[in-house]
Amino acid sequence: MTDVAGSLWDRIVSGFSLSPSPQVTATELVIVIVLATALSLPRASWRYFGLLATVTHELGHAFAALTTGQRLGGIRLSLDHSGTTTTYSRGRLPAVWSTFWGYPVPGVVGAVMVWSGFNGWGPAAMSVGTLTLLGSFLFIRNAIGLLITAAAVLGCALLVLFVPPEFTGQVVIALGLALLVAAVRDLAKLAKVHLRRRDRLPTSDAHLLYRATSVPSVVWILLFAGVVAGAWWVAWQPMARVLLAVTTQ
pLDDT at 1: 62
List the chain domain ranges.
Answer: 25-244
d(CA 181, CA 110): 9
What letter would DSSP give residue 42? S
pTM summary value? 0.94
d(CA 103, CA 109): 11
- Average confidence (pLDDT) per 10 residues, the chain, 249 residues: 75 83 88 91 93 96 94 95 91 93 97 96 93 95 96 93 88 96 95 84 91 95 98 96 79
d(CA 170, CA 164): 11
Helix and strand element counts for the chain (H, E): 10, 2
d(CA 128, CA 148): 18
pLDDT at 165: 81
- Residue 84 forms beta bridges with which residues? 76
pLDDT at 249: 61
First to last CA, the chain: 50
Question: What is the CA 67 to chain-centroid distance, rounded?
Answer: 18
What letter would DSSP give residue 18? P
Question: What is the CA 92 to chain-centroid distance, rounded?
Answer: 26
C-beta separation of 243 from 29 below 8 A: yes
pLDDT at 11: 86
Other Cβ atoms within 10 Å of 27 Cβ, number: 10
The closest alpha carbon to 118, from 236, 249, 245, belongs to 236
pLDDT at 2: 67
User: What is the signed CA dihedral for 116, 122, 128, 133, rounded to 10 degrees?
Assistant: 110
pLDDT at 5: 74
